[in-house]
Structure 1
Amino acid sequence: MISTYLAPLDQVDKAREGHLAFVDDLERAGVLVSAGRQDPPVGGVIILDAETEAEARELMAPDPYLLQGLAEYAATNWKPTRGALADWKR
């Protein structure tokens, strides 16, 4: 999931603590592969272990950034075949 911020960064940052807690929940659930903010900070990337776009969107639905209208997510299906994540398994 690739996010784009829809609000100024200072507004996004006010919700960042809740967003990071949400990302922690994804990690505890075993569905988070990796996540981080883009540089420059215009959005972020969250790599999920999800079978379908619908599942990924369901997982992302409770994100405070979405709930507060601060960001939108574009889903990109990706299957790593090379590099550090090529053999990653849930």
Structure 2
Amino acid sequence: MYIISLTYQVPLEDVDAFIPEHIAFLDKHYAAGNFLLSGRKVPRTGGVILATAASREALDAILEQDPFFREKLARYDITEIVPTKAAETLQYLLA
């Protein structure tokens, strides 16, 4: 499992121009089971994605499809985690 922290590298007006395409990217990978959670940072300096992938290489290939990556709008900091505890409603994540 991976925590992806995006930090915008350009003004929000530039980011906003790609929001519809970014949402389509997110939707595609939610449908494929690659993403579990995502949202904006507060304050709005970027976002966070909780993702599953077979490998770091597979995750990198997925993230390269993001228009924020393609257009160099955001920096991506990726942390791999091995979940060992979870709330009862999230036990399925402990695979």
Give the TM-score of the pair, scaled to structure 2.
0.84
Specify the alignment match of 1:44 in structure 2: 47
The equivalences for 1:3-82 within 5 A come to 3-80=6-83, 81-82=85-86
| Greater strand proportion | 2
In structure 2, runs of 5+ residues without a counterpart are: none
Q: Distance in 2 between matches of 1:47 and 1:76?
A: 10
Larger Rg: 2
How many angstroms does 1:89 deviate by?
7.1
Question: In the comparison of the two structures, how many residue pairs are matched?
Answer: 90
In structure 1, runs of 5+ residues without a counterpart are: none
Taking only the aligned residue pairs, the percentage that are identical comes to 31
Root mean square deviation of aligned Cα: 1.8
Give the TM-score of the pair, scaled to structure 1.
0.88
